Amino acid sequence: MFKHSFIDFPKLETKIINGKRYYITPTGAFYPSITTILSATESEGISQWKKNVGEEEASRISKIMARRGQNLHDICEKYLLNHKNPTFEYMPDVIALFSLIKKSIDRIQKIYAIEQEMYSDLYQIAGRCDVVADYRNNLSIIDFKTSNSDIEYTPEKIQKYFIQCKAYAEMFGERTGIKPKFGVLIIGSLDYGLKTYIDDLSKYSNDLETTIAAYEGKKYA
């Protein structure tokens, strides 16, 4: 059974503007989601993959992966909330993915937030964090990912995921006064197995600032 010590955060509404997701803060500010910011710069690997399979096929596969990823997140949330049968009525491929990553999930200790909307006034960004919890006795941002290719495991992709974790750590720290030090990436693939990456998020401060600045430059160009 997982232990919970949930922190009360304000509920944030979202709005899609020009295909980009924004969160509306309690003061009425519109902040772009960190995933929107990170997706603004597409990696060479993904660009090449789209060229290889074609835009239509890439779109079809992306939709399937997005749906599978959402279903996996739903199962993980139910499991972390101690539901008796979190995989009930889900498709076999999603259940297989959950069984694959469960080993890493079971290392999670006390949980402070699950699927939590957060924002930072300092960075003027927002997002929904998978989990904030103690992981191997360290307060951490935990992010679940799925993959059907080895693109997800490139250094560039892993760096982006840790920048995302760093953003969540800043949001959490700004709201609570306690900043998670580590990021934990739990990536499951039916083809490539389970990979768990842990890193010190202080290494990604400059990367986060550079990424936001690049997005703002493109946004207003």
Neighbours of 159 (CB within 10 A): 16
Is residue 202 one of the residues assigned to a domain? yes
pTM for this predicted structure: 0.89
Mean pLDDT (whole number) for 71-96: 95
Q: Would you state the structure tokens that stand for residue 210, as one six-digit string? A: 């550079």
Is residue 3 one of the residues assigned to a domain? no
Is residue 6 one of the residues assigned to a domain? no
Mean pLDDT (whole number) for 71-88: 96
As for how many domains the chain has, the answer is 1
Is residue 86 one of the residues assigned to a domain? yes
Is residue 5 one of the residues assigned to a domain? no
Please give the residue range of the domain that contains residue 203.
13-220
Token match 């997706």: residue? 39
56 or 177, higher pLDDT: 177
pLDDT digits (tens, 9 = 90+) for 189-219: 888 889 999 999 999 999 999 999 999 886 6
pLDDT digits (tens, 9 = 90+) for 91-150: 999 999 999 999 999 999 999 999 999 999 999 999 999 999 999 999 999 999 987 665
Percent of the chain with pLDDT over 90: 73
Q: Would you state the structure tokens that stand for residue 8, as one six-digit string? A: 């009360």
Is residue 207 one of the residues assigned to a domain? yes
Q: Answer yes or no: is pLDDT of 156 > 90.
A: no
Is residue 52 one of the residues assigned to a domain? yes
* pLDDT of amino acid 89: 92
Strand (E) or helix (H) holding 199? strand 193-200
Q: Which of 23-27, 32-36, 80-84, 145-149 has the lowest mean pLDDT?
A: 145-149
Contact 178, 137 (CB under 8 A): no
Q: CATH number for the domain including 170?
A: 3.90.320
pLDDT band at 68 (very low <50, low <70, confident <90, very high): confident
pLDDT band at 29 (very low <50, low <70, confident <90, very high): very high
